[in-house]
């Protein structure tokens, strides 16, 4: 019985210590970014620069002066990035504005999403230099949200009969 009680204590203590590192923040009104997908500053070049959002994490890499990854949440029109090993203890806040662009003449309902990040504050200057600006969604995998490399419909995805933009192959 003593062994089971000890095991229960270890599990509870482990959860208390690890939960903040593996769960998104519980701020009222906060959420994951809602920006899941691969974004690019240079959409015509295949993967030269990439900003990837997945749930409550981000990573940025490619031909850049800064590469890193960490936690990311959005709320109130802002994106907050943190927990980046390349910028220890630095939290970055960016104003977040969504937009769209034409996907090479496809139907209006198939416009590609863009995001413009405007620096509010970031103690990591190298990260701020890379993140601030407009990013174009390459591929999302989210229903109703398209990137420049997403086919316009299921038939085009299967047959390849669509004007795939440069840099998507």
Task: Tally the residues of the chain.
Answer: 169
Residue 26: count of CB within 10 angstroms of its CB: 8
Give the model's pLDDT for residue 24. 45
Give the model's pLDDT for residue 12. 60
Q: Whole-angstrom Cα distance, residue 65 to residue 125?
A: 11
Give the model's pLDDT for residue 26. 42
Give the model's pLDDT for residue 133. 92
Give the model's pLDDT for residue 121. 96
Give the model's pLDDT for residue 167. 64
Would you list the domain boundaries of the chain? 31-153
Q: What is the mean pLDDT of each run of 10 residues along the chain (169 residues)?
A: 73 57 44 79 70 90 85 91 90 92 61 88 92 86 73 75 68
E-only strand ranges, the chain: 37-40, 49-54, 57-62, 68-75, 78-82, 92-101, 112-122, 133-139
3-state secondary structure of 160: coil
Give the model's pLDDT for residue 166. 66
Closest CA relative to residue 147, chosen from 117, 114, 108, 99: 114
Give the model's pLDDT for residue 106. 56
Give the model's pLDDT for residue 29. 40
């Amino acid at each position: 019985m003593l062994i089971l009680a000890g095991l229960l204590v270890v599990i509870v203590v482990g959860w208390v210590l690890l939960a903040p590192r593996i769960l998104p923040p519980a701020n009222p009104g906060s959420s994951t970014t809602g920006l899941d997908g691969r974004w690019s500053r240079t959409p015509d070049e295949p993967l030269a620069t990439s900003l990837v959002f997945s749930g409550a994490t981000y990573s940025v890499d490619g031909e850049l002066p800064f590469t890193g990854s960490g936690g990311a949440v959005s709320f109130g029109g802002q994106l907050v990035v943190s927990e980046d090993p390349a910028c220890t203890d630095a939290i970055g806040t960016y104003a977040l504005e969504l937009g769209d662009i034409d996907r090479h003449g496809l139907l209006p309902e198939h416009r590609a999403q863009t995001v413009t990040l405007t620096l509010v504050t970031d103690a990591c200057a190298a990260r701020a230099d890379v993140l601030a600006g407009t990013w174009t969604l390459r591929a999302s995998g989210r229903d109703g949200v398209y990137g420049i490399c997403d086919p316009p419909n299921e038939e085009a995805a299967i047959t390849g009969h669509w004007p795939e933009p440069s840099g998507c192959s």
